[in-house]
Amino acid sequence: QDQSHSHDEL
Amino acid sequence: MNIFRLAGDMTHLASVLVLLLKIHTIKSCAGVSLRTQELYAIVFATRYLDIFTSFVSVYNTFMKLVFLGSSFSIVWYMRYHKAVHRTYDREQDTFRHWFLVLPCLVLALLIHEKFTFLEVLWTFSLYLEAVAILPQLVLLQRTRNIDNLTGQYIFLLGGYRGLYILNWIYRYFTEPHFVHWITWIAGLVQTLLYADFFYYYFLRFIGGRGVE
């Protein structure tokens, strides 16, 4: 999964 | 994770704990807008849909469950718990909050980073969160004087996104290609909506009296 679109923030 | 984001998450956590404390211990939701709580439940429900598909960290999953659980239980308390519901100010909490949902959904369908179901709903949750406090601020104007717990709840809720802005500035300068205009603008609008409240909160806080 491309990192740019995995939301790591709440 | 950086100190700004951790501080932001802890401030956000503190805001829901203060509200749960108020509602659960003194069984009162006086001065609290049920409509804002309903909007926040929708915000978390649409933002954390990926909780089952993409695992970021234990912390991330844990906090998502806390925010989902607290927002829905606050709505349940205010709607169905007899003692708490009795203290809900139905006549004053009349902001047409459903009128906020549709424009946010349309905007998310028009402006998003990626046109997928999860991403559009995630973007919708950002736009909705930016305006979710409006019913609460309107209720605040009408009820004039509010108790300290409600004032602290609103202060912490407004402060958390402000700390997130510092987090985004920090990440912009430390991580290449970290650019999320949609998140930044929505977060800025959200924080600016509290400007008026912060002004009076600090005035009263310095004066040592309740928030009026």
Q: Calculate how close chain A gets to B22, using CA atoms only, in Å.
A: 24
The type of residue at B21 is L
Whether B54 sits inside 8 A of A10 (CB atoms) is no
pLDDT of the residue at B50: 93
ipTM: 0.86
Residue B210 pLDDT: 58
| Chain A residue numbers touching B113 (CB-CB < 8 A) | 5
> A7: closest CA among B46, B42, B92?
B46
Q: Which positions in chain B touch A7 (Cβ < 8 Å)? A: 50, 54, 56, 122
Both tokens of B52, joined, read 């089952």
> d(Cα B5, Cα B11) in Å, to the nearest integer?
10
Mean pLDDT across the stretch B14-29? 96
Under DSSP, the state recorded for B51 is G
Q: How far is A10 from chain B (nearest CA, A)?
A: 7
Nearest CB to A5: which of B60, B114, B177? B114
Mean pLDDT value across residues B183-194? 98
Q: Would you state the structure tokens that stand for residue B185, as one six-digit string?
A: 């603008």
What are the pLDDT digits (tens) for B136-186?
999 999 997 788 899 999 999 999 999 999 999 999 999 999 999 999 999
Q: Is the pLDDT assigned to residue B76 strictly greater than 80?
A: yes
How close is the nearest chain B Cα to the Cα of A9, in Å?
8
| B50:A4 CB<8 A | no
How far apart are alpha carbons B142 and B212 in whole angstroms? Answer: 10
Give the residue on A whose Cα is nearest the Cα of B114: A5
CA angle B13, B16, B17 (to 5 degrees): 80
Question: Which residue in B54, B122, B164 is closest to A1 by CB distance?
Answer: B54
Note the Cα B111 to chain centre separation in Å. Answer: 21
**Torsion of Cα atoms, B90 then B41 then B105 then B111, to 10°:** 130
pLDDT of residue B112: 97
CB contact under 8 A, B5 and A9: yes
Cα(B122)–Cα(B48) distance, integer angstroms: 8
- For chain A, which residues lie within 8 Å of any Cβ of chain B, measuring from their own Cβ? 1, 4-10
Are the beta carbons of B158 and B107 closer than 8 angstroms?
no
State the average pLDDT for chain B: 95
Question: pLDDT grade, residue B96 (50/70/90)?
Answer: very high
**What's the pLDDT at B212?**
57
